[in-house]
A and B are shown apart, each in its own frame.
Chain A
Amino acid sequence: MKLPNTLYLLLLLPLLAGCNLQKDIDVVLPPHKPVLVVEGYLEYGRPLRITVLESSSYFDEPEVPLVPDAKAFITYKGRRIALRYQPHADPVYNKYYTHRSDEIMTGQPGDMYTLDVSDNQGRKVTATTTILPRVPIDTIEWRFNEKEEALLLTSFQDDPDKANFYRYVVHRDSVEKASARDFFVNDNLTNGQRVSIGSGYNYRKNDTLIISLYHIEQKYYDFLTSTSDAKNANGNPFAQPSRIKSTVEGGIGIFTNLVYDRKMVIIK
């Protein structure tokens, strides 16, 4: 829970803004040996695509650190599928990929996919992901205040027999636009309960909302948490610096599967 850190920043910001005491400084960083950075999100019915880049020293030029000699394979049910190096963009989601196969992901809950990536420098990254079952959204409802603003309530049933992790995303009008709300939760406090996720009075009549509930792996949740913590620590004097908890071995990154229930509503 990051609420207290947010409160402290709120207290501190007027002071900092009032004084405007900020300046550029030189920081000498130790030499950094780049490591492979992999992002792979498998989605049912879509081709197998991943992004392989490498890390950069913080003050290096901000360019895309491609790794053209990286060779990537995904293994499913004993079959090793090669992903060819072909940097390309997906204009719908505004995403970039470096490696792809025409093979479509067909995994069912419980199935396991394995990834291995290597390059000519001897760097090697491996990872696995197990397909999770979809968790259906029960109900989506909303309530108006006196200003005709609506809050949104999304309910679903948590499985009491497992530790579950979720990512909740709300888009306005289209999933092709940037999300209006995006956060991830675990069921530590709500195990086995019918969980309701609320919101502030952020919506108005006739808003079209697309609500997605992702059922995510714990290691993906840990990766999201650690990257969020690392980003927050850079610029927040009250936050503890955090190391990245990757789901891959031998490098940095995430290899997981995206299973979600998605509903569209129009606020009336």
Chain B
Amino acid sequence: MHLPSYLLSLFLLLLLVKAPLAQAQVVNATITGQVRSATDRQPLPGATVGVPQLGIGTITDAKGMYRLELPAGTYTLQVSFIGYETITQPLTVGRTNQELDFRLEDGGNMLQEVVVEANTLRQKLNTNQMSVEQLTSTEAKLLPALFGEVDLLKTLQLKPGVQSGGEGASGLYVRGGGPDQNLVLLDDAVIYNPSHLFGFFSVFNPDAVRSVELYKGGFPAQFGGRLSSVVDVELNKGNPDNYRVTGGLGVISSRLTLEGPLVKDKASFIISGRRTYSDVFTRMLNKANEGSADYSPIPDYYFYDLNGKFNYKLSRKDELTFSSYYGRDFFKFSDASFKVGFDWGNTMASLGWRHSFNARAFVNTTVSTSSYQYTIANQIDVFSLRLRSDIQDFTLKTDFNLILNEKHHLKIGAVATNHSFTIGRLNFDGDDDRFSVATGNSFGAIEFGAYVSDDYEVNPLLTLNYGLRFSGFSNSGKNYFGVEPRASAKYNLTETLVLKGSFASMMQYIHLVANSGASLPTDVWYPSSPNVKPQRSQQVAFGASKLLGKGKYLLTNEVYYKWMHNQIDFRDGANLFVNDSLENEFLFGKGESYGNELYLEKIQGRTTGWIGYTLSWTYRQFADINDGRRFPNRYDRRHDISVVLLHKLNKRISLTGAFVYGTGNAYSLPVARFAMQDIEGRTASIVPIYSDRNSFRLAAYHRLDLGLVLKMKPKRGESDLTFSIYNAYNRRNPYFVYFDQINHETEKTPIAFKAKQVSLFPVIPSVTYNFKF
């Protein structure tokens, strides 16, 4: 593709740009390239490339790419990244641009992996983007985990402003937004349900994932379609030099990853798989107890997921990437009267093409498909029941980066998605026409977005980013359009104190039909329609970052306010599963969320970690709920504290610990009761009377997890044993509360009522064996 033809196709967007292309001038020579790890050839995001004598430097992006503007002269170029040997080399800059790639050697210390953040604190201080959290798989693997199952999304919950939905759940509640308001991207393709089994495990296999970035606010204009966050997950690239096997044996699952070159210096692959095996043991237990009258069979449950990535370097300027994900959960249960099968999962495939026009312009184009579906099947003799819902997307996306001059970096792009929704498709059949019911809805919808943004360095102290996203959605003859302005600014008050601010307006055209706090597989996506308007939000955030202790610590404080419009909830007793008139169950209202996030981090030295504290409020207001009064959202959490520490004891042992504390979730409980005889007095029962929604609080949640990573010295490759103790002091955190009826022993009549709290996970020790060769 040639630059002019590409610009022609996007000329409408370019009209919006304040700095015309004609002004683009090459003032200095530009040095561009990529920084990779010499060990596995993976790109190193956050590496520093600079010329110390000029005080000029930059940080590599998520793909390890960098770009430096330098005046003519002879310098010493320095490339560094924590845990790797620093490269210094002479560089002569003339009037022509240069491309220089670097491969950094591992620092040699086995525990150099104890790197909490990819960026150094000074780099983080100076980055334009605010309200963003970065995490590498390496970091997540060091921290203790439930059942030893490393989970990047749960690790993100330890960051300020990010909360979990409940015990053990991987759903993210970002700045008062629901888990449906997170745009979860895996190599640029959407993942609709990023969790297995009630959200206890995320779908991201830590061996397959390289890093994740979470945007909580100040959203760059290239992201759209959700209100509250962007979770941008990048899969590992295969090692282009050597074949490698990586894996792990855990308490409930095992992992295996294969990677290596396909064509020397041109093509590489990585394939990664994971499967749980609790079903093997439960089947054995069920078989051993077969025929026992007192024994209730344990349901059969397991999940697996597969990731694959294939890279092909067509030329120095062109690279193709094919990424894929396939995961399924399976559940089976049967007893004398009830037999059911239930499966659900995501499927994703994306093909990306990166083309560099020159040192100052490149484009990423991706075509992808993504789907999520669940199926419940029930078969008894001649009767069969099958309930299915799914969403399937086909997406074309292109992002164009153009460096106009040393002050302006332009980004332009567009995305179009064809959505297909199947909602509550029920088939019930018997052996003749008497037993045949078919119902459900199908929708086809088109969603698009186009954006332009400019990074503008006004002067060495002030940097601006401003952009505009135009989005639209079409379904059932109804078209919606949205204009989403985005802006952010950074001002260096002193060398160690930076002020930042941002504004972001967001639109969300598809909605999750879910009325439970858990991430359930039967939660389905529903499109905007003539009666269902898109959700909208505006968020403002201001922050200050200060380097302390001679640059060892970074203290960041951010305050935010978010307005949410056209929020969706459901009528009391809504039937969300088999309902051809689902929209009749919807309620529309508004929400607001505000808070303050304090974050102190240390990323270098033998002891690293962070302390986060969030003070926040989150409310919703619907005319038909609580008589129109606003109420706290279920995940409204006044105080949220996380303390994470990693200590390198010696070259082979590192110790980790994580403590979390959170105000109890808002919860609905009955306030009164009445006796109902019904038409038969024998079936008389006590009926609870609920009052205002979420008017109670569960007890506070707090937990300490401890971990130990022991590096072993195998004859070949590397291996370690990772020990975890989840909930080390065995805190009984509330999962839910209910009111129990205590009956008289013989007369079976109620004699008292008591409140009971149910907890989920006690102290759980686990060990995982990880290997790489």
B572, A226: Cβ atoms closer than 8 Å = yes
Which residues from A are CB-within-8-Å of B693? 241
A151, B381: Cβ atoms closer than 8 Å = yes
A243, B572: Cβ atoms closer than 8 Å = yes
A238, B516: Cβ atoms closer than 8 Å = yes
Interface flags for A193-215 (1: CB within 8 Å of B; 0: not) read: 01010101110000000000000
A233, B690: Cβ atoms closer than 8 Å = yes
Interface flags for A124-156 (1: CB within 8 Å of B; 0: not) read: 000000000000000000010100000100010
Give B232 Cβ to nearest chain A Cβ, in Å: 30
Q: Which residue of B lies closest to A147 (CB)?
A: B336
Question: Which residues of A219-243 have CB atoms within 8 Å of chain B's CB atoms?
Answer: 225-227, 229-231, 233-235, 237-243
Give B105 Cβ to nearest chain A Cβ, in Å: 47
On whether A59 and B517 interact (CB within 8 A), knowing A179-B680, A243-B572, the answer reads: no
| Among B282, B517, B681, B686, residue most surrounded by chain A Cβ atoms (within 10 Å) | B681
Q: Which residue of A lies closest to B683 (CB)?
A: A178
Instruction: Tell me the complex Cα distance, A110–B361, Å.
Output: 78
Judge if A258 is at the interface, Cβ distance under 8 Å: yes
Which residues from B are CB-within-8-Å of A22? 756-759
Which residues from A are CB-within-8-Å of B740? 235
Instruction: Tell me the complex Cα distance, A1–B681, Å.
Output: 26
B687, A244: Cβ atoms closer than 8 Å = yes
- The stretch that binds B, out of A10-18, A71-79, A80-88, A101-109, is A10-18
A234, B739: Cβ atoms closer than 8 Å = yes
A196, B682: Cβ atoms closer than 8 Å = no
B338, A227: Cβ atoms closer than 8 Å = no
A27, B738: Cβ atoms closer than 8 Å = no
Give B189 Cβ to nearest chain A Cβ, in Å: 27
Instruction: Tell me the complex Cα distance, A244–B687, Å.
Output: 9
B331, A7: Cβ atoms closer than 8 Å = yes
Judge if A8 is at the interface, Cβ distance under 8 Å: yes
Which residues from B are CB-within-8-Å of A44? none
Q: Which residue of B lies closest to A212 (CB)?
A: B679
B333, A10: Cβ atoms closer than 8 Å = yes
On whether A23 and B333 interact (CB within 8 A), knowing A11-B301, A143-B381, A230-B690, the answer reads: no
Question: Which residues of B668-706 have CB atoms within 8 Å of chain A's CB atoms?
Answer: 668-683, 685-691, 693, 695-696, 699
Question: Which residues of B706-761 have CB atoms within 8 Å of chain A's CB atoms?
Answer: 732, 735-740, 749-761
Q: How many residues of B contact A (CB 8 A)?
A: 87
Give B179 Cβ to nearest chain A Cβ, in Å: 15
Judge if A162 is at the interface, Cβ distance under 8 Å: no
Judge if A252 is at the interface, Cβ distance under 8 Å: yes
A95, B672: Cβ atoms closer than 8 Å = no
Judge if B575 is at the interface, Cβ distance under 8 Å: yes
Judge if B57 is at the interface, Cβ distance under 8 Å: no
Interface flags for B360-403 (1: CB within 8 Å of A; 0: not) read: 00000000000000001010110100010000000000000000
B578, A90: Cβ atoms closer than 8 Å = no
Question: Which residues of B434-457 have CB atoms within 8 Å of chain A's CB atoms?
Answer: 434-435, 437, 439
Judge if B337 is at the interface, Cβ distance under 8 Å: yes
On whether A93 and B342 interact (CB within 8 A), knowing A58-B753, A231-B688, the answer reads: no
Q: Which residue of A lies closest to B736 (CB)?
A: A237
On whether A7 and B342 interact (CB within 8 A), knowing A25-B755, A196-B430, A244-B689, the answer reads: yes
Interface flags for B647-676 (1: CB within 8 Å of A; 0: not) read: 000000000000000000000111111111
Judge if A51 is at the interface, Cβ distance under 8 Å: yes
Give B752 Cβ to nearest chain A Cβ, in Å: 7
Judge if A4 is at the interface, Cβ distance under 8 Å: yes
Interface flags for B547-572 (1: CB within 8 Å of A; 0: not) read: 00000000000000000000000101
Per a CB cutoff under 8 Å, which of A95, A177, A189 touches B437? A189
Judge if B248 is at the interface, Cβ distance under 8 Å: no
Interface flags for A170-199 (1: CB within 8 Å of B; 0: not) read: 000000011100100000111000101010
Instruction: Tell me the complex Cα distance, A3–B338, Å.
Output: 11
Give B694 Cβ to nearest chain A Cβ, in Å: 9
Give A45 Cβ to nearest chain B Cβ, in Å: 15
Judge if B416 is at the interface, Cβ distance under 8 Å: no
A27, B674: Cβ atoms closer than 8 Å = no
B677, A96: Cβ atoms closer than 8 Å = yes
Judge if B573 is at the interface, Cβ distance under 8 Å: yes
Q: Which residue of B lies closest to A182 (CB)?
A: B683
Per a CB cutoff under 8 Å, which of B520, B677, B681, B754 touches A238? B520
A240, B573: Cβ atoms closer than 8 Å = yes
B342, A200: Cβ atoms closer than 8 Å = no
A237, B518: Cβ atoms closer than 8 Å = yes
Q: Which residue of B lies closest to A194 (CB)?
A: B434
Judge if B24 is at the interface, Cβ distance under 8 Å: no
B673, A16: Cβ atoms closer than 8 Å = no
Which residues from B are CB-within-8-Å of A7? 331, 333, 340, 342, 376
Judge if A37 is at the interface, Cβ distance under 8 Å: yes
Give B175 Cβ to nearest chain A Cβ, in Å: 24
Per a CB cutoff under 8 Å, which of B435, B671, B757 touches A58? B671
Which residues from B are CB-within-8-Å of A258? 679
Which residues from A are CB-within-8-Å of B572? 226, 229, 240-243, 245
Which residues from B are CB-within-8-Å of A241? 572, 668-670, 690, 693
B573, A242: Cβ atoms closer than 8 Å = yes
Instruction: Tell me the complex Cα distance, A27–B578, Å.
Output: 36
Give A110 Cβ to nearest chain B Cβ, in Å: 22
A233, B688: Cβ atoms closer than 8 Å = yes
Which residues from A are CB-within-8-Å of B227? none
Judge if B98 is at the interface, Cβ distance under 8 Å: no
On whether A190 and B738 interact (CB within 8 A), knowing A226-B573, A230-B687, the answer reads: no
On whether A240 and B434 interact (CB within 8 A), knowing A55-B674, A96-B681, A200-B380, the answer reads: no
Q: Which residue of A lies closest to B691 (CB)?
A: A30
Judge if B481 is at the interface, Cβ distance under 8 Å: no
Per a CB cutoff under 8 Å, which of B380, B668, B677, B757 touches A95? B677
Give B759 Cβ to nearest chain A Cβ, in Å: 4
B577, A32: Cβ atoms closer than 8 Å = no
On whether A237 and B688 interact (CB within 8 A), knowing A10-B333, A226-B573, the answer reads: no
Give B718 Cβ to nearest chain A Cβ, in Å: 34
Which residues from B are CB-within-8-Å of A155? 434
Which residues from A are CB-within-8-Å of B762? 19, 21
A1, B677: Cβ atoms closer than 8 Å = no
A237, B517: Cβ atoms closer than 8 Å = yes
Judge if B198 is at the interface, Cβ distance under 8 Å: yes
Judge if A94 is at the interface, Cβ distance under 8 Å: yes
On whether A24 and B677 interact (CB within 8 A), knowing A189-B439, A233-B688, A243-B690, the answer reads: no
Which residues from A are CB-within-8-Å of B735? 237
Instruction: Tell me the complex Cα distance, A58–B755, Å.
Output: 10
Instruction: Tell me the complex Cα distance, A258–B333, Å.
Output: 37
| Among B426, B672, B739, B749, residue most surrounded by chain A Cβ atoms (within 10 Å) | B672
Which residues from B are CB-within-8-Å of A229? 572-573
B670, A21: Cβ atoms closer than 8 Å = no
A19, B683: Cβ atoms closer than 8 Å = no
Instruction: Tell me the complex Cα distance, A151–B434, Å.
Output: 16
A21, B674: Cβ atoms closer than 8 Å = no
Judge if B298 is at the interface, Cβ distance under 8 Å: yes
On whether A1 and B673 interact (CB within 8 A), knowing A22-B759, A27-B737, the answer reads: no
Which residues from A are CB-within-8-Å of B674? 37, 53-56, 252
Judge if A218 is at the interface, Cβ distance under 8 Å: no
7 extra interface residue pairs, beta carbon distance < 8 Å, beyond A4-B522, A14-B298: A11-B301, A39-B677, A62-B753, A94-B681, A145-B381, A240-B515, A240-B574
Q: Could you give 14 example pairs across A and B, Cβ below 8 Å?
A: A4-B376, A7-B342, A19-B759, A21-B758, A22-B757, A23-B732, A39-B678, A56-B674, A95-B680, A179-B683, A198-B435, A238-B518, A241-B572, A241-B693
**The 8 residue pairs across chains A and B that have the minimum distance between CB atoms:** A95-B681, A21-B759, A200-B337, A237-B736, A94-B681, A235-B738, A241-B668, A62-B750
B residues neighboring A (CB under 8 Å): 197-198, 282, 298-299, 301, 331, 333, 336-338, 340, 342, 376, 378, 380-381, 383, 387, 426, 430, 434-435, 437, 439, 515-518, 520, 522, 570, 572-575, 577-578, 580, 668-683, 685-691, 693, 695-696, 699, 732, 735-740, 749-762
